[in-house]
Structure 1
Amino acid sequence: MAVLRIDASIQGPRSASTELADLVESEWAAARPGTEFVRRHLGAEPLPADAWAHAVHAGYLPAEQRTDAHHGAVSLAGQLAGELRAADAVILALPLYNYGISQHAKVWIDLAIAGGELGERLLDGKPAVVLTTRGGAYGPGTPREGWDHNTDYLRRVVADMWGADLTLIEREFTLVGVNPALDAFTEAAELMRKTAHEAAAQAGRVLAARH
Structure 2
Amino acid sequence: MATLLHIDSAVLPGEASSSRSVTAAFRRTWQEQHRRGTVIYRDLVADPVPHITADAWSAGWTDPSERTPEQSAAFAARERLIEELERADAVLIGAPMYNFGIPSTLKAWLDSVLLLGRTAGESPSTQGTPAVVVASRGGSYAPGTPREGYDFVQNYLTAVLANTLGLNLEFIVPELTMAPRNPAMTPLIPIYEASRERAFTDAVTRAKELAELFAA
Match of 2:58 in 1: 57
Residues in 2 aligned to 1:75 and 1:103: alpha-carbon distance in whole angstroms: 21
Match of 2:26 in 1: 24
Instruction: For residues 155-201 of structure 1, give each alpha carbon's deviation from its aligned partner in whole angstroms, at most 9, with x where no partner exists.
Output: 22222222222222111111111122211211111111111111011
Give the alignment of 1:1-211 within 5 angstroms.
Answer: 1-13=2-14, 14-49=16-51, 51-59=52-60, 66-68=68-70, 70-114=71-115, 117=118, 119=121, 121-211=124-214
Give the TM-score normalised by structure 2.
Answer: 0.89
Cα drift, residue 122 of structure 1: 3.6
Moved more, 163-172 or 192-201: 163-172
Q: Which runs of 4+ in 1 moved over 6 A?
A: none
- The 1:80/1:160 distance shift into structure 2, 3 A limit, reads same
Residues in 2 aligned to 1:130 and 1:140: alpha-carbon distance in whole angstroms: 19
Cα drift, residue 123 of structure 1: 2.2
Moved more, 99-108 or 160-169: 160-169
Residues in 2 aligned to 1:110 and 1:66: alpha-carbon distance in whole angstroms: 20
CA-atom RMSD in angstroms? 1.9
Cα drift, residue 140 of structure 1: 2.4
> Is the contact made by 2:60 and 2:115 (CA closer than 8 Å) also made in structure 1?
no
Identical aligned pairs, as a percentage? 33
> Is the contact made by 1:77 and 1:115 (CA closer than 8 Å) also made in structure 2?
no
> Is the contact made by 1:10 and 1:44 (CA closer than 8 Å) also made in structure 2?
no
Cα drift, residue 54 of structure 1: 2.5
- The 1:30/1:114 distance shift into structure 2, 3 A limit, reads same
SS in 1 for 2:148: coil
- The 1:59/1:156 distance shift into structure 2, 3 A limit, reads closer
Cα drift, residue 82 of structure 1: 0.7
Give the TM-score normalised by structure 1.
Answer: 0.91
- The 1:109/1:52 distance shift into structure 2, 3 A limit, reads farther
Cα drift, residue 58 of structure 1: 3.2
User: How many residues matched?
Assistant: 209
